[in-house]
Amino acid sequence: MKSAITGICLFLMIGFVSPTIAGFQIWDFEDAERNKEWKVANGKWKFNNGVYQETSGNEKAMHTIVGEVGWEDYTVEAKVRMDEGKWAGLIFRAQDEFEYYVFYLNQPNQKTELWVHKKGAFDNRAGGNPQNFPAKGKIKIKNGDWNHMKIEVKGEKFTLFIDDIEQGEGTSNVKYDKGMIGLWCWETKTSFDDVKITGKGVKTLPVNPKFKLASVWGQLKRE
């Protein structure tokens, strides 16, 4: 009874949040209905005990996307663990399954890279070299370890954090002003968890009280 009352109170609070306050959405991959929102572009993805995994490691630019094309400035974050392979990260401002930005972890070179993907094929990228950011703050990118990635997307600037330590600020000559978010890996078996987007254009959804109420409550208090 107590948990039910808490859930109702939280629902009412969310319903009356001021529209000027940033909204948020969370995918902890424990809710089967929310899991259906993810759209796989390529690769073999499955939900496994509250974690979303790419299990083949066989293709280039394997990814899955979620959300609304109208999302503009926001913060996207998630836990990322490379289980077998070298490269994995987060997509932002995705127009569709071909056009998007991606910030990803480069395990062999201990750095992060910003790339722009374009129409034509899943591995079709904009010309030129990526923007590279050597790992800072004693950050170690290792297979089997979780890293918390966070990208602050504001206008034409994209700031990346790993485990709450700023790694660098990127930009791009290819302009995607708005777009969805997603999960990405390149020939790498990867696990993802606790994906969250926060932004003024994001609609906060009612939360099932069975799934990570503490995280949602903490988010409400911080906004």
- For 109-137, how does the pLDDT look when each residue is reduced to its tens digit (9 = 90+)? 999 999 999 999 999 998 766 899 999 99
Q: Which token pair is 59?
A: 């293709």
CB atoms within 10 A of CB 83: 16
Only one residue has tokens 């954090």, namely: 161
Q: What is the mean pLDDT of residues 21-29?
A: 94
Contacts of 20 (CB under 8 A, 6+ apart): 200
Superfamily (CATH H level) for 23-201: Exo-inulinase; domain 1 (2.60.120.560)
Give CA–CA dist 7/207, Å, rounded. Answer: 8
Q: Which token pair is 190?
A: 């990867």
- On the question of pLDDT at 149 being above 80, the answer is yes
- Please report which helix (H) or strand (E) contains residue 6, including its range: helix 2-15
Indicate the domain borders of the chain.
Answer: 1-17+204-223, 23-201
